[in-house]
Amino acid sequence: AAATRVRHFDGTGRTADGTHIQLLANVGDPKGAVAAVEVGAEGVGLFRTEFCFLDRAEEPTVDEQTEQYLAVLEPFKGRKVVVRTLDAGADKPLPFLTDADEANPALGVRGYRTAGRHPQVLDHQLDAVARAAQRSGADVWVMAPMIATAAEAAAFVALAGEYGLSTAGVMVEVPAAALTADAVMEHVAFASIGTNDLTQYTMAADRLLGDLAELNDPWQPAGLRLVRLTAQAGARRDRPVGVCGEAAADPVLAVVLAGLGVTSLSMTPRAIPDVAEALRSVTMDECVRLAGLAVDAPDARAARDAVRAELPTTL
């Protein structure tokens, strides 16, 4: 059988003039972690822990969770792994955490919001993440999904701290969190922008509906403006701000995100070499200029066309 060829990159994402943009992997299981190491990812920018338990009717025990997380963390000894707490609900229901009868699950009790009803599930998970972190020797960062307010961010960071998880942050994927990013950043060590949900909520277009794909496009200037607001707020407080939505895997959009001020990009492992190549082809000044073209464009298609026209056609 033909060997699967894995393209590598040299291990550090950089623009042509040397600005470091960390290139990280999105993973959901140990297989994904191995793929991330093979491709040369600098670490994991999004570990979707809910993927470990999608078929489970009952909450997994702390011991069981610890083993599952450990299997993903172990290949990343000494390296950064951003563990996201359970993002249950909407497109990823977990029977032990979410209510199947909501009329609008995308606007419902999902992600961090489930902690209001089931606080012990978040407690148990943070306990397991802390145990796995200690055993693995990975540099574990922890973040909560679906944060809408600075108060939620503060509560999550405080709770994570109780388990010894000192590098705690939030996903910015609700427009309210992006619009109040300065207040959110006061409480967190970092933020990671989820462009999949941020686009869906900005455009009021269900990400699961193919008919709305044109609206639900990460190139929408409205969403890019929220990315910029968030990155700027992070820069003011010296907090790293990454992107971990699918947008980060588009090499041309990755250049724009870097220009908007994002400091890391996390994506499916196989996209990393192409994104690395795109970043190497442009200076940071060019990224900033191209980002300006995109945010000032009238719509997603115009934004994409304007930026593409300025870059080599091979990207």
User: Would you list which residues are annotated within the binding site for phosphoenolpyruvate?
Assistant: 48, 84, 196-197, 207
Residues acting as catalytic residues: 244
CB of 282 to Mg ion, least distance (A): 28
304/229 Cα distance (integer angstroms): 20
Q: Which residues touch 170 (CB under 8 Å, ≥6 apart)?
A: 143, 144, 147, 152, 153, 156, 157, 177, 184, 188, 191, 192
Sign for the CA dihedral angle at 114, 118, 119, 120 comes to: negative
Q: Given candidates 42, 50, 197, 286, which one binds Mg ion under the rule CB under 5 A? A: 197
Q: Of the two residues 169 and 245, which places its CB atom closer to ligand PEP in the complex?
A: 245
Binds 75: which of ligand PEP, Mg ion, none (CB < 5-8 Å by kind): none
Q: Of the two residues 131 and 207, which places its CB atom closer to Mg ion in the complex?
A: 207
Binds 245: which of ligand PEP, Mg ion, none (CB < 5-8 Å by kind): ligand PEP
Residue 196 has which token pair? Answer: 């999949």
CB of 79 to Mg ion, least distance (A): 23
Binds 32: which of Mg ion, ligand PEP, none (CB < 5-8 Å by kind): none
Q: 310 φ, ψ to 5°?
A: -100, -5
289/307 Cα distance (integer angstroms): 9
CB of 51 to ligand PEP, least distance (A): 9
Task: Tell me: does residue 87 bind ligand PEP (CB under 6 A).
Answer: yes
Binds 251: which of Mg ion, ligand PEP, none (CB < 5-8 Å by kind): none
Among residues 260, 311, 253, 310, the alpha carbon closest in space to that of 284 is found at: 260
CB of 124 to ligand PEP, least distance (A): 21
Using alpha carbons, list the distances in angstroms from residue 57 to 54, 71, 97, 118, 124: 9, 22, 9, 15, 16
Using alpha carbons, list the distances in angstroms from residue 26 to 169, 180, 239, 249, 314: 17, 26, 20, 10, 25
Binds 48: which of Mg ion, ligand PEP, none (CB < 5-8 Å by kind): ligand PEP
Task: Give the three-class secondary structure for 282.
Answer: coil
186-245 binders of ligand PEP (CB under 6 A): 194-197, 244-245
Q: Of the two residues 132 and 146, which places its CB atom closer to ligand PEP in the complex?
A: 146
CB of 36 to ligand PEP, least distance (A): 15
**Which residues are paired to 3 by β-bridges?**
none
CB count in 10 Å sphere of residue 118: 17
Q: Given candidates 152, 173, 246, 274, which one binds Mg ion under the rule CB under 5 A? A: 173
Residues lying near Mg ion in the complex (CB under 5 A): 173, 194, 197
Residues lying near ligand PEP in the complex (CB under 6 A): 46, 48, 87, 173, 194-197, 244-245
